[in-house]
Amino acid sequence: MKTLSALILSLGLLLSGLPTQAQDAQSDMARLFENVNAIAQELQQSLEGLEASIQESHNSIEKGSEVLDGMLESVRKVHENIAEDSQIWKDLESLLALWEQRRQESLKKSESNPAFVPIAQAWQTRLETGRKLRSQISTQRANSLALLRTIEADREIVLAYYELGQADKAIEGLKQVSEKLANLNENMQAIVKTASEARQVPIAP
């Protein structure tokens, strides 16, 4: 009798743990999307009025320096938020591991039950979307680092043109950085789109 009770208790604990695991995974996916979307929105906001600020800095080295510092800070935030030790990267790696586990489990079950074949295929599609997201974030990380270094390297050159009274060349330098920042923003929007696609299908045990 005790053995039967223990078995029932163990089964109950096992079953109660499955929804919790699924809920945790859904929570991780929701958090991943929210974090990615927040970064994209903040970057988008930093671009608003940037062109006007650049034009306003035509005759002011202080204003030009302020614009450069603002762009540098925007890129730095993007880079830090998608770094390998960031919550976004940790959540994505965790989800990819879970989805691979689900795919393998479904494949194993499909050996005796063909009904699991489309389920395994669905997990495969989910995995491919997640891997695409990982690749996009990894590329964005590299691009943001490159842009950081570019801004830091070009900062003194741009300010030197201001000091020489050659504001047009200084503005040209600011616009070049602005264009690269706009490209970074486009890539960030693409990441948001992929993250949205990855969360469409609820994770189930």
Give pLDDT tens digits for 172-200: 999 999 999 999 999 999 999 999 998 87
Query: 139 near 82, Cβ under 8 Å?
Result: no
Q: How far apart are CA 82 and CA 85, in angstroms?
A: 8
pLDDT at residue 29, rounded to an integer: 84
Instruction: State mean pLDDT over 75-103.
Output: 94
Of all residues in the chain, the percent with pLDDT exceeding 70 is 85
Our separate counts of H helices and E strands in the chain read 6, 0
The pLDDT confidence band at residue 28, using thresholds 50, 70 and 90, is: confident
Taking the domains of the chain in order of start, what are their residue ranges? 28-198
pLDDT at 12: 42
Among 6-20, 23-37, 139-153, which is the least confidently predicted range?
6-20
Sequence length of the chain is 205
Amino acid letter for position 37: N
Q: Is the predicted pLDDT of residue 5 greater than 60, yes or no?
A: no
Q: What pLDDT score does 2 carry?
A: 44
Examine the pLDDT at 13 and tell me if it is beyond 80.
no
Q: Is the pLDDT of residue 9 over 50?
A: no
Q: What are the pLDDT digits (tens) for 35-71?
A: 999 999 999 999 999 999 999 998 899 999 999 999 9
- If you search the block for the tokens 């003194």, which residue do you land on? 156
Assess whether pLDDT exceeds 80 at residue 7: no
| Residue 11 banded pLDDT, cuts 50, 70, 90 | very low
Q: Which two tokens stand for residue 153?
A: 């390297």
Cβ burial, residue 53 (10 Å; 0-12/13-18/19+): middle
Quote the CA–CA distance of 29 and 23 in Å, as a whole number.
10
Q: Which amino acid is at 171?
A: I
pLDDT at residue number 200: 78
Q: What is the pLDDT of residues 94-152, one digit of tens each?
A: 999 999 999 999 999 999 999 999 999 999 999 999 999 999 999 999 999 999 999 99
Residue 173: its pLDDT value, please? Answer: 92
Alpha carbon separation from 42 to 39, 81, 86, 87, 103 (Å, rounded): 5, 12, 17, 17, 35
Q: Where are the alpha helices (DSSP H) in 48-113?
A: 50-56, 61-81, 87-110
